[in-house]
Chain A
Amino acid sequence: MAAPVRGMAGSISIGNTTSFQKKTRSKLVSIPGTRPSVQNGQLLVSSGVSSLDYVIGGGLAVGTLLLVEEDRYDSYSRMLLKYFLAEGVVCGHELFLASARDHPDQIMQELPSPIVDDVAGMKISEGQSQPSDPENPDTMKIAWRYQNQPKVQIALASSVRFGHYYDVSKTMEPELRQAAKCHSFYQLQETPVTTGSSLIKVFVKTSLYFQVLASASKVRNVLRLGLHSLGSVLWGDDVCCKDNPAHCHALTTFLYILRGLLRTSLSVAMVTVPSHLIQNRAVMGRIIRLSDTAIALESFKGSEKETNPLYKDYHGLLHVRQLPRLNCLSCEVPDTKDLAFKLKRKQFTIERLHLPPDLSETVSRVSKTELAAGCGTTATGNKHLDF
């Protein structure tokens, strides 16, 4: 796309800043806070949570869209958004924050403060063997042959340090926060428009488009976009309150256009969507497919799972709905899909959930859904007792 853009931006042309170019030449893109992926050479940024980086394949690829399905009370998804923005502040990236419910400045004031000297403090089991030491109390006496085996890690963390850690109990210093360039868009301050679809067009037209373009043409830096609770009623969209929303394609068109914008610039976007309010499953499926990476948070607060002894160490479950295949045929396939998270003061951990086998007599057997193959006159189902 090389056509110069007319309009308010003057003669800014969309430069050749696509992030999906093979970096075969010697000059590497050295933007602070980014690193190339080991799988396919993508430029990655950290999402602020190192466990989440590991789960989604090393980090967020620049030019992609991360969709977070909110938990019921929007506590942990909001936390993830704050981690994402705080990571941007610490790495020196530009920020763009749009929200409809709380003022962006309020969200910015709640950013967690980074832990500066965390090398000594954090103990991440990296799976390396510990040398056997006479004074070391961990020296095995009986199973000494297994001393040098790598420790099985349940906490998911990558061995290369990329990203920072944050202390949730403290908020970020105002000086540090103001050092970062932050643009904000507060829905309730904009002039009201009549329908949802034109609202989104206005939003795209005024703020987002030119911020992204502006960031692409100046000094190469990553722009992080955080969009809070997109699709909720406060954005003027009725996708959350009706089964058949009148403008159901307003949100999906916006996500499509947003992804197109992200591909042409060095930006990463994190969008949180209150999926528990969206009744139409088809719309939710489309929203997931229009984003690159999609995760869903399910918190145990207020549900019967809170008192379940299996989940007593955790705050909720994390579902990975979709992982992107960028510039390659296969994506990073996780070995397990049972993930749970817990939010501690200094770390948001995502761990593999090991459920013990349920051998009680009253165990509920979930019946497998019938599969209907394609269309046609013969609907072949595939029940679990199919021989």
Chain B
Amino acid sequence: MFPELNSILNSTPDSFKSSDFILVSDRRADASFLIHHYLSFYLRAGCKVCFLGLVQSFSHYSAVSQRLGVSLAQAREKGQLVFLEGLKDSVGVLLQEDTSQETQPLSYVRSPGAGLEGLFRFVECSMRQSGDGDAGESWGPPVLLIDDLSVLLSLGVSVGAILDFTLYCQATMCSELQGNMVILVRCEEEDADDVDEEGSNLLQRGLVHQCNLALHVEGLPTGYCRDIHGQMEVWWRQRGENIYNQRKIFHFKVHDKGASFFARGTSSAVL
């Protein structure tokens, strides 16, 4: 959890907006540090978190969260965190012989054309279980975190299927269960003359229209800098009845134990 980011977005683990769909995207940069922020943020807030880790292993997130002060192993044991180990389990799914279980969460690895229904059922099932859990545990609103939705494009899933999946998730998580959703999408560089029909840019545009808050991470337009790792654009979009459309750009630097955000031109290396 990054305190400076909390003050920029005006949210703390004690008071944050519900029914929020936050889209984290990047272009030629790495925005995964924001996913670590949200993971520790929502675990601290006491929410029930469903994390789809499609690109890294559990131990990676666990090691980073340790530095941010949250223990993922404990959260998983207590039932607060449901972690889908996408990267490692997909190997087994691809190579297993029986095709009987088509609605497994990772069935898209074998048959990418069939869509993401299995994945959605997994999310829905793990989130609804909080209602009829044990008497001693009552977690906060459910939260869905997806680390890297755009890797599904690399596996052959179509953009339409992914957008359907996010729409179903939004309807269930945000509207029905009053929970939050944070999705990371990694984009390519825009090719001016090449209209990318099946690309991650199309996916990102579709998701930005659905979201409430868009955080876009890019490198600095002036080139590579060792002390400022990039710029992050915060776009406050529609929120209930109000239509905001307010954008701000911040520079950031990622440390070992966090990230610091500052207004453009106020980096400590410069001042």
Contacts and interface: CB of A to CB of B under 8 A. Distances in A.
Do A and B interact? yes
Interface residues of B, number: 60
A374 B25 contact: yes
A257 B259 CA distance: 31
A257 B90 contact: yes
B247 A375 contact: no
A335 interface: yes
B64 A328 contact: yes
A27 B159 CA distance: 48
A329 B205 contact: no
B95 A329 contact: no
Contacts of B156: 249, 253
B90 A327 contact: no
Interface in A321-335: 325-330, 333-335
Interface string A309-327: 0000000000000000111
A38 interface: no
Contact of A252 (B91, B154, B257): B154
B154 to A, nearest CB: 4
Contacts of B32: 325
Nearest to B249: A373
Contact of B88 (A264, A326, A368, A375): A264
Nearest to B187: A285
A20 B153 contact: no
Contact of B190 (A21, A335, A372): A372
Interface string A260-283: 110110000000000000000110
Contacts of A384: 221-222
A19 to B, nearest CB: 9
B254 A326 contact: no
B254 A373 contact: no
Contacts of B188: 281-282, 285-286
Nearest to A279: B194
Given A209-B95, A282-B191, A282-B200, A18 B208 contact: no
A22, A260, A382 interface centre (most CB from chain B within 10 Å): A260
Contacts of A372: 190
Interface in B216-236: 216, 218, 221-222, 224, 226, 229, 233, 235
Contacts of A252: 154-155
A327 B60 contact: yes
Given A375-B204, A376-B208, A263 B95 contact: no
Interface string A172-211: 0000000000000000000000000000010011000100
B104 to A, nearest CB: 13
Most buried by A among B64, B112, B154, B221: B154
A374 B235 contact: yes
Contacts of B60: 20, 326-327
Interface stretch (A1-9, A77-85, A111-119, A154-162): A1-9
A205 B91 CA distance: 10
B190 A382 contact: no
A337 interface: yes
Given A256-B154, A290-B151, A328-B63, A3 B92 contact: yes
Contacts of A5: 92
A330 B94 contact: no
A289 B186 contact: yes
A333 B253 CA distance: 11
A257 B94 contact: yes
Contacts of A333: 226, 229
A164 interface: no
A259 interface: yes
Contacts of A255: 154
B88 A1 contact: yes
Given A1-B85, A263-B88, A328 B256 contact: yes
Given A18-B59, A371-B221, A384-B222, 5 more contacts: A7-B97, A204-B94, A330-B33, A373-B233, A374-B204
23 contacts: A1-B92, A5-B92, A7-B95, A18-B59, A20-B60, A21-B59, A209-B95, A249-B156, A253-B156, A256-B87, A256-B154, A260-B87, A260-B91, A264-B91, A281-B194, A286-B153, A327-B59, A330-B33, A330-B256, A333-B226, A374-B25, A374-B216, A375-B204
A-B pairs, 7 with minimum CB distance: A249-B156, A327-B63, A252-B154, A375-B205, A20-B59, A285-B188, A330-B254
Interface of A: 1, 3, 5-7, 18, 20-22, 40, 201, 204-205, 209, 249, 252-253, 255-257, 259-261, 263-264, 281-282, 285-286, 289-290, 325-330, 333-335, 337, 368, 371-376, 382, 384
Interface of B: 25, 28, 30, 32-33, 36, 57, 59-60, 63-64, 67, 85, 87-92, 94-97, 109, 112, 151, 153-156, 186, 188-191, 194, 196, 199-200, 204-205, 208-209, 214, 216, 218, 221-222, 224, 226, 229, 233, 235, 247, 254-259
